[in-house]
Amino acid sequence: MTGPGEEPFIVAVKPLVDAIGGELLPPDEAGQDDVVLSWEGADVVAVRLPQLADSLDHILAAMERRQGRPLAELDRRTKQEVVRVLEARGAFSVRHGVETVAGALGVSRFTVYNYLNREKGT
């Protein structure tokens, strides 16, 4: 839902919606769980929020882009930092979160738990 001449409000909120892995929709296509954003009294755009599991995949992909290489190629210290950031963002409250993160980092679940325990011990 982007294109030339679109509403400045939509242009303004799009980076945030992209960052959370959401989808922009016309307000008249909004479902019950979508969030309709209004500006100056008019419904401008609806946001479809991602499922939690999709959000974790989106967060991992964004972290990979920021690092400039696959997370599995990072050194141990950087992987520990990634786990700390993911924990702060609630990644491990998602079902299979530890397994998903372990797979992305190329480590075992046990290693992810060790990284989490190390953070709690410091």
Q: What is the pLDDT along the chain (122 residues), one digit of tens a residue?
A: 545 457 899 999 999 888 778 899 999 999 999 999 999 999 999 999 877 667 788 889 889 999 999 999 999 999 999 999 999 988 898 889 999 999 999 999 999 999 998 766 65
Is 58 exposed, middle or buried, given 0-12, 13-18 or 19+ CB atoms closer than 10 A?
A: middle
Task: Please name the residues in contact with 102: beta carbons below 8 A apart, sequence gap of 6 or more.
Answer: 108, 109, 111, 112
Residue 13 is predicted with a pLDDT of: 93
Residue 121 is predicted with a pLDDT of: 60
For residue 35, list its beta bridge partners: 47
Fill in the amino acid letter for 52: L
Separation of alpha carbons 91 and 59, rounded Å: 9
pTM for the model stands at: 0.63
Residue 4 is predicted with a pLDDT of: 45
- Contact between residue 22 and residue 47 where contact means Cβ atoms under 8 Å apart: yes
Three-point CA angle 86, 36, 3, nearest 5°:
85
